[in-house]
Chain A
Amino acid sequence: MDTNHIVLIANRGEIAVRIAQACHRLGIGFACVYTEEDAASGHLQVARELGGALFRVSSYHDANEILSVADQAGATAVHPGYGFFAEDFRFARRVTTRDRKMIFIGPSWQVIQALGDKINTKRLARSLGVPTVPGSDRPIYDEQEAEKIARSLYEFQLQQGVAHPLVLVKASAGGGGMGIEEVYDIDQFRSVYRSIRNYALRQFKDEGVLIEQRICEFNHLEVQIVADRTGKNPVHFGTRNCSIQSTGRQKRLEVAPGFAPADIKYDFDAAALLDTITSHSLKLAQKVGYDNVGTWEWIVTRDGSPFLMEVNTRIQVENGVSAKIARLNGKPGVDLISEQIRLGLGEPLGYTQSDVSLEGFGIEYRIIAEDPANHFSPWVGRIERFSWEPQPWLSMHTHVPAALDGTPYDIPTEFDPNLALAIVWGADLAEAKARGHAFLDSLVLEGHDKDGSPLQSNVAFLKDRTDGILRFA
């Protein structure tokens, strides 16, 4: 491949470190950005070691500044990481259509736009027969129509044996949990509908609402898709189960693959279900011409019905756990970030689905300074010691300098307090669990806040949850 590329890494922390390492491995140049508050982050250190240029910016959110830095660095491509600009089709469009054009390492902006719109995704899915959450797939503006849908959803759930049916009313233009309310009594529907409609009109200047079944008790599964710029031959790298989350619905522990039909008994045919969601995901990817890495998010109910929720058009935090169990032509050591960069720069995929196989189980722990007992409230202070026993079955991704060279590290308050990702692998589920316990037991994470109280972390929470992975709780 052409190694004259320079990739600007428009992100921070752990993902910036991993992108820098991937570029280094691919033999291409890179440049990093950092803000004043973030000057102690480990990604600067890695950049210095690997010979990447460093630029200070006033904000990771200002596209103007990021792009002028990219020009200054002579970058030919921009990698957005996750968060920030990762799913911003306007940023992608700007990068690729400005006078000095660059490559956006991610799907093309048209794909990001098409799949960034939940209604559009749902309609695309339905047009292909991909199952989605029952309910409307277009904004409803008429009160009587809305009530009719809500009533039939209610009856539909009763027929399906749901004891306490719930209907969700969502502002169709909303997002991020805003403007969503649950209806448990159908006679209440009109008043809820009106309040959401008025809220949507005020907030989003659009009174359309979506009416959907509220699904309770489900597992959160993901399908990892990889495709090259032709968008014609996507492959999947298996599934992940991301059901273990904090109270704020933030993922804490991910397992690949999504179910363990050989070890655990389910109420449904789990192996067939995994096949179903991967084939559905590939079908949709092919339809939209998906041309980079991405994640198809599914929810699976207790009785084994899958529903496509949304598509994340970016590399995800938990990509490493899928890579851990993946074998390409039988060989381990798959790196999805390197793949993303390679394919993003225009290289052909070079393999087909039959060349990809999965082996064993991977568990990813997100190690975070927080208090799980107290609504996962973040802990802020100085990390003094951060170490673990290296193992051939363990990979650690961190930007905390205490782990890299022992320098104490003040957790910046501006960003999420994610400290490290630990990925363990086992040939079977029992081994993976045992190694997970062993790793967590060997982990040393110490520090104090400015009052002298000791560091709080979610390690005990992760250990507690390790035993029950891949089971319907």
Chain B
Amino acid sequence: MDIEKRAQHLTDRLSYIRDIFVGRNGEIIDSLGVRLDSFFQNLADGSMKSPLEELVQLEKGFDEVERLLDSSLTPMEKVRIVRHPQRFCLRDILENVYDNFTEIGGQDEHSIDPSMVIARATITRHQGKKKYSQLIMVIGQEKGHGEEFRNGGSVKPWGNAKARHFMQVAETENIPIHTYVFTPGSFPVEDYPGAAQQIASNLYEMAGLSVPIISVISEGGSGGAEAIALADRRLMFSHGYYSVISPEGAAAIEGRLKGGARATPELIAHCAERLHMTAQDNLNFGYVDRIVQEPCLGARPFHYDFFRTLRQEVIRATDEAVLGARGFSPMRRLTLRRWGRDDTNMDEVFLSWNLSDSAREKLVAKRQKKFLRLSKGACWDRRPVLSRLRRNARESWDSLYARVKFELYTRHRQRISNFMNETLSMAVWLRDRMLYPITRKPVGPRLRPETVRELTTLSTWKEEDESRKGRWAYVSPRAREDRTVTCPNAATHGCLDLWAPDLYGEFAGVCTTCGHHFPMEYQWVVNNVFDADSVREFNAEVEAANPLNFPGLGESIQKAKEKTKLKSACVTFEARLNGIRMIVAMLVGPFRGGSVGAAEGLKFVEAAKLAEKKRYPFLAYVHGTAGIRIQEGTHGVIQMPRCTVAVRRYIEAGGLYLVLYDTNSYAGPVASFLGCSPYQFAMRSSNLGFAGVGVIKETTGIDVPPHYHSAYKALSRGHIQGVWDRREVRANLEQLLLTAGGRNLYYR
């Protein structure tokens, strides 16, 4: 009986192997099958002398073959391993790694989102006879060995909201968080909230969460992974993948597939390879801190020794994070070095995971700095060293100057002037009161000649703003064509065809009948919103590159550079709006769809830093963005947490971070550093969300209703704070600069 059960287990292992190696290593696998078949044959007819011996031999044979196959795994095969129903799940980890756990926020299918599991777990460590029980908040996607209601670990927005909620609970209780990433990607629906909106909110939360966060990645698909993976220590399973997009998605984009067409397996495998998504790749890039070794061909629930290893790893990682935050006493430094190096049994040492307030602050600062340091080498930074030094020196001076000016001078000056004004006002009142009997005015209308003159002659009028009405500094080149344009709402709103020179010129791309906004060039906003001649670009020398040597990307980047005369999709500049100086980071649609890679991320982060130093408001003007530049792989996706950290640091320093969407804005950037702003506004021409209509249909099978991503829908979802008319942008922005947030702005 026992033998049969063990033999049956081998059948499972064989089918697992067959599933992983599709069309490869057929001979070896078949010979294994033949051996297993003959074993069963012999078992059935009782022709074996010692079935147990035979079985052990056979098991050894399996081990050997698995070891052999494991040494030559391709990235695509790793993808299959990670997605296999036999792979271990979060519940297996909860049962085998932790000593005790209570699932919260739902039970099985009775959950707001069964694909996101939250548990309160404990780890008990002992030193001699003493036992220490340590509490942890465990958060992660649950694939449930293929249970349908788990949705393959693809989490809906409210699942991510649940995760964020329990992160806050952990922060209140001052206990560490362990997150486990098992997701092919987030479920891309725009509901209440939308997918992007929620992921951005999670990222923003984690960028400043003051308890240790350890995340372990098995399947890390883009935004869905980032929603719980902005951590102090990031571990990765040796057979996992962490990528900007699933290989199928990348293949669909690379092959320019439309309308349900499928990519060939070769192209998918090719993309899997080119995306550099394995654990080793990500360790080399620095995007994960450590690899957790799995057994050959990936861990399955019966690999108990693997769970022991994992337990050691997560405890060590948590200890490291805690120690790092506590400050370095010589003893701690020594301990840390030892724990990191040798194979101490982490169960037998004890380190309290409670952090003091100052340690919590330090923890957050360390986490933020860690992310800001990432991906530096993945773009082409052609800023001359000397000018960079000069710039740094100037910025430090600016920062010092701002501190002295605002914190010492301005504040005191204000106090003095308030006092003077008050005193003066009282003195005038007293004087008038005393002199009243003498200077009393006669009753009845008594009009001074200058008043009459004011009413009847030309007044002075600074027409600065008025003069912009309909007369724009920048006029689209499309306004030079003598042709008519039909408004897409003509059938429903009865719009007359518009003459292109009027539409793209005076009307600023707005239909005069229904208000439909035609997309315009980014130059329109740059030239018509900011004060004339006030735009000064900086960091223009940072160029988009091809860090993974992705085939074809180099040429298309070159083409985009020639077409747009820009060096990357992100342009950062200083500008003034009615005299108020500000820093602007602009994502330009025509440059590779406004996609964000390492260069764009670097420029964005630098812009946020500069704005903080100078105490300027910081505007992210999103002319358009298609998402993260997938051909840069994790160099791209890491910009999500990275830029979010930069934004959070800026906001917490008392800045005013505004986001303005212009045309189509989707995916990663919206789901992170753009979507987390408290002040997001969209022009009527914009569509925003997580995934486009085609991707939603492809991944979820849902037919989305019309205008699903329109700015007004985003407003209803609470993603943005207002929808603006293009012609009003300047006035609205100015109003916002004067009224919204930011306690540390230079003009306050």
Interface residues of A (CB under 8 A from B): 61-64, 90, 93-94, 97-100, 123, 126-127, 131-132, 134-139, 149, 152-153, 155-156, 158-159, 205, 213
Contact = CB atoms under 8 A, between A and B. Distances in A.
A156 B452 contact: yes
B458 A123 contact: yes
A325 to B, nearest CB: 33
25 contacts: A62-B496, A62-B497, A63-B499, A64-B484, A64-B499, A90-B502, A93-B501, A94-B499, A97-B501, A98-B482, A98-B499, A99-B482, A123-B461, A126-B458, A131-B456, A137-B459, A138-B461, A149-B454, A152-B455, A153-B455, A155-B447, A156-B452, A159-B445, A205-B727, A213-B455
Contact count band on B: 20 to 34
Interface string B429-469: 00000000000000001110001101111110100001000
Contacts of B447: 152, 155-156, 159
Given A126-B457, A126-B458, A156-B455, 13 more contacts: A90-B499, A90-B506, A94-B501, A127-B458, A135-B455, A137-B458, A137-B459, A149-B455, A152-B447, A152-B454, A159-B445, A205-B725, A205-B728
Contacts, number: 62
Contacts of B457: 126
A64 B457 CA distance: 42
A449 to B, nearest CB: 31
Contacts of B501: 93-94, 97
B445 A155 contact: yes
Contact of B445 (A100, A123, A134, A158): A158
Contacts of B452: 156
A122 to B, nearest CB: 9
A97 B454 CA distance: 41
Given A90-B506, A97-B501, A134 B482 contact: no
B74 to A, nearest CB: 59
Contacts of B725: 205
Nearest to B725: A205
Nearest to A155: B445
A97 B452 CA distance: 45
Contacts of B446: 155
B143 to A, nearest CB: 52
B509 to A, nearest CB: 15
Top 5 A-B residue pairs of the complex, sorted by shortest distance between their CB atoms: A126-B458, A99-B482, A155-B445, A138-B461, A134-B455
Nearest to A154: B445
Q: By DSSP majority rule, is chain B's interface helix, strand, loop, or mixed?
A: mixed
Interface of B: 445-447, 451-452, 454-459, 461, 466, 482, 484, 496-497, 499, 501-502, 506, 725, 727-728
Contact of A94 (B455, B456, B502): B502
Nearest to A123: B458
A152 B458 contact: no
A205 B484 CA distance: 27
A24 B501 CA distance: 34
B486 to A, nearest CB: 10
Contacts of A123: 458, 461
Nearest to B444: A158
Contacts of B454: 149, 152
A61 B499 CA distance: 14
A62 B496 CA distance: 7
Nearest to B498: A64
A63 B496 contact: yes
Nearest to B728: A205
A90 B498 CA distance: 11
Contact of B451 (A94, A97, A98, A156): A156
Nearest to B496: A62
A139 B461 CA distance: 9
B497 A134 contact: no
A123 B456 CA distance: 10
Contacts of A132: 456
A137 B502 CA distance: 28
Contacts of B497: 62, 64
A246 B727 CA distance: 39
A379 to B, nearest CB: 30
A64 B506 CA distance: 17
A307 to B, nearest CB: 10
Contacts of A158: 445
A134 B727 CA distance: 32
A93 B454 CA distance: 36
A127 B466 CA distance: 18
Nearest to B461: A138
Contacts of B502: 90, 93-94
A376 B499 CA distance: 39
Nearest to A94: B499
Contacts of B458: 123, 126-127, 137
Contacts of A98: 482, 499
Given A62-B496, A152-B447, A138 B459 contact: yes
Contacts of B484: 64
Contact of B459 (A100, A136, A159): A136
Contacts of A213: 455
A282 to B, nearest CB: 20
B225 to A, nearest CB: 43
A355 B47 CA distance: 134
Contacts of A138: 459, 461
A153 B458 CA distance: 15
A233 B407 CA distance: 66
Nearest to A134: B455
A138 B467 CA distance: 12
B455 to A, nearest CB: 4
B453 to A, nearest CB: 11
B363 to A, nearest CB: 48
Determine which residue in A132, A137, A213 has the highest number of CB atoms from chain B within 10 A of its CB, and name it: A137
A136 B459 CA distance: 8
Nearest to A135: B455
A156 B454 CA distance: 11
A216 to B, nearest CB: 17
